[in-house]
Amino acid sequence: MPEIRFYHLTKKSLEEALPDLLGRSLDRGWRAVVKARSDERTESLNQHLWTFDDRAFLPHGSDKDGRPGLQPIWLTTEDENPNGAQVLFLADGADTANSGLFETVCVLFDGRDDEAVARARGQWTAFKDAGHPMTYWQQNERGGWEKKQETAGDGGA
């Protein structure tokens, strides 16, 4: 049963925080899937990951690029794991019915958006009720992450 991590964005936007989290995943030797709620948002994130920093590179692709098996980071709107990823990032309120395809699922939500916070609370309840081990991370004043809560989960028993 995958670990679920909630990342409460309070100081940085998704566009600012996601590259760092993806970079950490790649540093661990993990592949990643980023799921957004629309094709337009997927394409926006795809373009952003090419330009977010002139000194950094995050190898990634989407349906427009094809060949998901060769992409360490795959951007999609589908509930899929076509690149054999260990971690799934759910952006902008995206959800999954296939969390078991991953070792870790990360829910990123904007704490300045009441609707996003409400949606994340619903996701927290659903994952907790399913027995997942979970952690809740919140950005500190400098934009770093502090663990605020952890639940062991019951393995879905």
Q: What is the pLDDT of residues 108-140, one digit of tens each?
A: 999 999 999 999 999 999 999 999 999 999 998
Q: Is residue 51 assigned to a domain?
A: yes
Cα(61)–Cα(92) distance, rounded to whole angstroms?
A: 19
Q: How confident is the model at residue 156 (pLDDT cuts 50, 70, 90)?
A: low
Mean pLDDT, the chain, integer: 94
Domains in the chain, number = 1
Range of the domain at 134: 3-150
Token pair 């100081």 is at which residue? 11
Q: Is residue 155 assigned to a domain?
A: no
Q: What is the pLDDT of residues 38-54, one digit of tens each?
A: 999 999 999 999 988 88
Judge whether residue 20 has pLDDT over 70.
yes
Judge whether residue 157 has pLDDT over 60.
no
Q: Following DSSP, what letter does each residue of 34-81 receive, concatenated?
A: EE-SSHHHHHHHHHHHHHS-TT----EEETTT--GGG-SEEEESSS--
Eight-state DSSP code of residue 147: E
Name the pTM for this structure: 0.94
What is the domain-level CATH number for residue 52?
A: 3.40.50.10110
